[in-house]
A and B are shown apart, each in its own frame.
Chain A
Amino acid sequence: MSRKLLLANDHIPGIQSYEVYRSNGGYRSVEKALKTMSPDDVVEEVKKSGLRGRGGAGFPTGMKWSFLAKPEGVPRYLVCNADESEPGTFKDRYLMEHIPHILVEGMITSSFALGANTSYIYIRGEYFYVARIVEKAIAEAYANGWLGKNILGTGFNHDMYVQVGGGAYICGEETALLESLEGKRGNPRIKPPFPAIAGLYGCPTVVNNVETIAAVVPIVNDGGDEYAKIGIGRSTGTKLISASGNINKPGVYEIELGVPVEEFIFSDQYCGGIANGKRLKACVPGGSSVPILPDYLVCKTATGEDRLMTYESLSDGGFATGSMLGSGGFIVYDENQCIVRNTWNFSRFYHHESCGQCSPCREGTGWMERVLHRLEKGMGNMSDIDLLVEVAKKIEGNTICPLGDAAAWPVAAAVRHFRHEFEHHVLHPDKVKDPKHGHREPIMPVKPQPVTA
């Protein structure tokens, strides 16, 4: 059985409430940090743990914290990114819904480390009921002396607020989130300056994902070294994976980083194999923004090694034959799924969610969506396929924020690995006119040939 750190007490009835959470060892990290450690000690433990940001980019958290500017007389802020809107990702919701206190606890401990007297949890607008749960947890923490003035008599003051999001995926991008939190239109800022220097209200700010902040709790409780023992190489600790798609047991799993992908998909401990006895066709391992992998690259890398659930192994082979761990939105496709349709669906999302500030993303996302729609409906041409690749290339890397990349990568990867399926849509418009094409029989009965990297 794999070790669990965040969801260890998930099975305990009533763990949502303060009493049960506390009686199961909750808020120990706050006691330990505030009473026995200096803020820098906490940062040091997080550095030692090797924890990397769980929001998608995987940036080392300890390093991010140590970049925080500390000018005299200027407040610092910790902001929790709970805007979780990436298609395929639902782990933060699960955590906040089931164990809200671990987030509140992590927020207090992290704020102490950063010297922040105010923190905000920015929760996705559609998660309004989750916001109520977290607000209740915060109220309980206040009532029990974990928040407010002079916490545990240590002189540390801290106030925590929940902000319900603006209802846009782009508000999850950290600088757009800060704009939105300030009450403005959620447009990403042009960087530099980075939030660590000038973030919320122009003050030094750390933005971290829900899961990142929750992971600080076991790190402080057990020590960074202990945390770093789990995992492989630079992928330390545990990770929440939102598993969805054509699997027997969709849901949120806490895994030790390093579990083989094959085991994750097929073992009964996790996804339990492909549903309805079908075959695996493809997998998007890290949320809609990361490249899709065809069956033969899911469980093995291009060099024939076992693919593992780590930052490094999932990106092995670069974009030619690899993907990314991203936010851990693990989507599995069986042989009946249409990749063109799926790609169109993703591109529809990015088209809808582009903030529209910069021209490549504003115009390019809509263009790709229209071309993909045409292909999916059997009305496209062969030249559309290359057009897609070219448009994706013109967006990628040329935008203000990574949403442009996130829109371009899945399209480029789908064409890279499933070009035959796009061609099939052009050559057999009669077969794909039916919106349920693929459901009765696989779109492409022939197994695709591996591309060489």
Chain B
Amino acid sequence: MSLLKVTIDNKTIEVEPGTTILQAARMIGPDVAPPAMCYYTKLKTSGGYCRTCLVKVSKGSEKDPRPMPKLVASCRTTVMDGMEVENFTSPEVVDARNGVVEFLLLNHPLDCPICDQAGECHLQDLSYENGKSKTRNEFERRTFEKIDIGDKIQLHMTRCILCYRCVKVADQFTPERVHGVINRGEVSEISTYIQHAVDNDFSGNMIDVCPVGALTDKTFRFKSRVWFLKPVDAHRNCDKCSGKTVLWKYGQEIYRITGRKDQWGEVEEFICNTCRFDKKAPSDWTEEGPRKLSRHSVISQGHYGTKTKFVASPVTLPNKQLS
């Protein structure tokens, strides 16, 4: 099949039919790739919800050069031959995206100082790049009670941006449909049919796909800021998954285990709950070496405790005061 030519922010690439604008942009590189909060390459039917990846199609295709009438979600729009797309070069797109970010933050608690996700949160990155420094929302923000999803995962719905990624994980990796969205509109919430029902070998991947701190690892909760930890690629023989993980260590101690995330914050392979939650002894793992992170990541800024005496000790305050 012949390749399709697409130009994004004046950079041209040829891609296979069926490629989305977002994927094509990522192939060109981070300079033109729109941010994506809900799309996840490995989750079927993901994307389309958050609207951060909106772009302008200024030329539809060689055959039909008309521009598309509205901004489109680049994660769900496939490339046509001769298409021309404007992302960061279009003030209209930047303006709309700033609007989307404002909406995503409208009801977000911004409790980063006590959120385990801080430092690896996509919403933090996004608001840093596109956000206003001051909210225009003068109304009370919505809050929810925290919920335990099984004994290893906590759902803090107040922080959720309803990206549906965890719903897709539950749909696509668990045999029964027990995890989804209840209620409507602004009061929609992620929920689990029976709170403890998501008891599945792969449920822990919800934590990795969650772009914010709404789904967190209870075995790691409040143990450390992520930037104090040293990420190390490691593997073990596992009969459920590939066993390829990242160990997040402080000294010799393994604080938490996650999947390996690529440049776009997506895991390379989903890992099982045994690897994630139950194998915290260094002897369980064969280490491969330090995990390479983007220089810009706040995690790379951490000095792994060499310069500072500050040791993140488990927080002893009762949960109530923290939230």
- Measured CB to CB, the closest approach of chain B to A400, in angstroms, equals 6
- Interface assignment of B161: CB less than 8 Å from any CB of chain A: yes
Produce 1/0 per residue, A357-371, CB < 8 A to B. 111111111110010
Closest-CB distance, B42 to chain A (whole angstroms): 18
Residue from B48, B99, B162 within 8 A of A400 (CB atoms): B48
Chain B, interface size category, equals: 20 to 34
Interchain CB contact (< 8 A) of B162 among A352, A353, A356: A356
Interface check B289, CB cutoff 8 A: no
Query: In the complex, which of the residues A185, A356, A393 contacts B185, with contact meaning CB atoms closer than 8 Å?
Result: A356
Whether a CB of chain A sits under 8 angstroms from the CB of B298 is no
Task: Name the residue of chain B whose CB is nearest to the CB of A381.
Answer: B138
A361, A367, A387: residue with the most chain B Cβ atoms closer than 10 Å: A367
CB closest chain-B residue, reference A189:
B48
In the complex, A357→B45 CA distance in Å? 13
- In Å, the complex CA distance between A362 and B102 comes to 12
Min Cβ gap A290→B in Å is 18
Contact (Cβ within 8 A) A354 B103: no
- Min distance, Cβ B160 to any Cβ of chain A, angstroms: 11
Question: Given the known A-B contacts A185-B180, A400-B48, A400-B49, are A359 and B185 also in contact in the complex, defined by CB atoms under 8 Å?
Answer: no
B34-54 residues at the A interface, CB under 8 angstroms: 47-51, 54
Are A352 and B104 also in contact (CB < 8 A) when A190-B73, A190-B76 are? no
What chain B residues lie within 8 Å of A48 (beta carbons)? none
Q: CB of A168 within 8 A of chain B?
A: yes
Partner of B184, one of A168, A363, A398, A399: A168
Interface flag for A136 (CB, 8 Å): no
Are A354 and B181 in contact, CB atoms less than 8 angstroms apart?
A: no
Is B107 part of the contact surface with A, judged by Cβ < 8 Å?
A: yes
Check: B106 CB closer than 8 A to any chain A CB: yes
Question: Which of A354, A359, A387, A399 has most chain B Cβ within 10 Å?
Answer: A359
Q: Which residues of A contact B164 (CB under 8 A)?
A: 357
CB contacts (< 8 Å) of B71 on chain A: these are 397-398
The answer for the CA separation of A365 and B71 in the assembled complex, in Å, is: 20
**CA of A170 to CA of B73 in the docked complex: distance in angstroms?**
21
Q: Which of A351, A359, A365 contacts B49 (CB 8 A)?
A: A359
Q: Please indicate which of the listed interface residues B51, B103, B104 has the most CB atoms of chain A within 10 Å of its own CB.
A: B103
Contact (Cβ within 8 A) A359 B104: yes
Given contacts A190-B48, A397-B71, contact A387 B136 (CB under 8 A): yes
Tell me whether A394 and B102 are in contact (CB under 8 A): yes
Contact A398 B99 (CB under 8 A): yes
Decide if B96 is an interface residue (CB 8 Å cutoff): yes
Interface residue B137 (Cβ < 8 Å from any Cβ of A)? yes
B107 / chain A contacts, CB cutoff of 8 Å: 363
Q: Which residues of B contact A357 (CB under 8 A)?
A: 49, 162, 164
Known contacts A190-B73, A367-B137, A397-B70, A359 near B51 by CB under 8 Å: yes
Closest Cβ of chain B: how far from A393's Cβ, in Å?
8
- Residue-wise, chain B 54-85 has the 8 Å CB interface mask toward A (1 for contact) of 10000000000000001101001000000000
A190 to B78, CA, bound (A): 13
- In the complex, chain B residues whose CB is within 8 Å of the CB of A351: 185-186
Q: Are B49 and A354 in contact (CB under 8 A)?
A: no
**A-facing mask of B94-133, CB < 8 A → 1, else 0?**
0010011011101100000000000000000000000000
Say yes or no for B89: interface residue by CB 8 A criterion: no
Within A163-206, which residues are at the interface with B (CB < 8 Å)? 168, 170, 185, 190
* A446→B148 CA distance, assembly (Å): 59
**B139 interface hit (Cβ, 8 Å):** yes
- Of all chain B residues, which has the CB nearest A353? B185
With an 8 A cutoff between CB atoms, is A355 at the interface? yes
Cβ–Cβ contact B185 & A360, under 8 A: no
Chain B residues whose C-beta falls within 8 Å of the C-beta of A190 in the assembled complex: 47-48, 73, 76
Knowing A358-B49, A358-B51, A367-B137 touch, does A394 contact B96 (C-beta < 8 A)? Answer: yes
Instruction: Answer whether residue B297 sits at the interface, using C-beta atoms and an 8 A cutoff.
Output: no
Residues of B contacting A370 in the complex (Cβ-Cβ under 8 angstroms) = 139
The 8 residue pairs across chains A and B that have the minimum distance between CB atoms: A394-B99, A356-B188, A354-B185, A363-B103, A190-B48, A366-B186, A356-B185, A397-B70
Contacts A359-B104, A399-B51 given; 4 further ones with Cβ under 8 A?
A353-B185, A360-B103, A362-B188, A366-B186
- What are 26 A-to-B residue pairs whose CB atoms are below 8 Å? A170-B184, A185-B181, A190-B48, A351-B185, A353-B185, A354-B186, A355-B185, A356-B162, A356-B184, A357-B162, A358-B48, A359-B50, A359-B100, A359-B103, A359-B161, A361-B185, A362-B103, A363-B186, A365-B185, A367-B139, A394-B96, A394-B103, A397-B70, A398-B70, A398-B100, A400-B49
Give B residues with C-beta under 8 Å from A. 47-51, 54, 70-71, 73, 76, 96, 99-100, 102-104, 106-107, 136-137, 139, 161-162, 164, 180-181, 183-188
